[in-house]
Amino acid sequence: APVNAVPRSTKAAGETPAVQEKAPIPETPFATFDEVMERIKFENDIELEVALDRLKVVRFAPQGELVYVASSDHPRDMVRRLKSFLEEHTPFEWTIRSTAEVAAPVESLADKRRRGHERQLDELKKHPFVAEALKQFPGAEIAKVTNPVDESAQSGDVVPMPAPNA
């Protein structure tokens, strides 16, 4: 499939190669917008993370294009900051644009998280013990869902206890 990626030029102005060869398209570290968000979280850019959490991405092309649904609640500098972040971490010149026309419903990361949480609650309510507890206490609600800690996967030093004297 042809790719319309435009790698940023690293040559000085006026330089031309002696032989015109088709340059290979550089690799990108981000295959999806979720991977972009993971990197933003890793770098602890909280302002950008919060701004993009509700962004409804219509199209994400890893070689330099992002189209999102326009919204008045996005920060004014969001596009500039996102473009700067992407161009710092990829070899491409990014095109970021908004659209008001969407062929199908688009979810933001926050919408996906909320839907996942609701699905988890629905599954939990089907558990026999939980269903019985909710039946016994009318009006009760599940306030919080936590997953147990897998103690076998803990990191750090584990010191064995000394064996008792026999």
What number is the average pLDDT over the span 81-110? 85
pLDDT tier, 80 (very low <50, low <70, confident <90, very high otherwise): very high
pLDDT tier, 21 (very low <50, low <70, confident <90, very high otherwise): low
Q: For all residues of the chain together, what is the average pLDDT?
A: 79
What number is the average pLDDT over the span 43-60? 89
Beta bridge partners of 98: 68
Between 83 and 103, the higher pLDDT residue:
83
**Interatomic CA distance for residues 92 and 6, integer angstroms:** 6
Q: Is the pLDDT of residue 84 over 90?
A: yes
- Specify the range with the lowest mean pLDDT, choosing from 18-22, 44-48, 60-64, 86-90: 18-22
Q: Is the pLDDT of residue 1 over 70?
A: no
What number is the average pLDDT over the span 76-95? 91
The 3-state DSSP class for residue 44 equals coil
* Contact call for residues 57 and 68 (beta carbons, < 8 A): yes
pLDDT tier, 3 (very low <50, low <70, confident <90, very high otherwise): very low
Between 119 and 163, the higher pLDDT residue:
119
Q: What is the pLDDT of residue 166?
A: 59
What percentage of the chain has pLDDT greater than the value 70?
75
Q: What is the pLDDT of residue 13?
A: 52
Amino acid at 59: R
Q: DSSP assignment, residue 7?
A: B
In angstroms, the Cα distances linking 139 to 100, 123, 136 are 42, 18, 9
- Specify the range with the lowest mean pLDDT, choosing from 6-10, 39-43, 81-85, 104-108: 6-10
Any long-range contacts for 144-147 (C-beta under 8 Å, 24+ apart)? 145/117, 145/120, 145/121
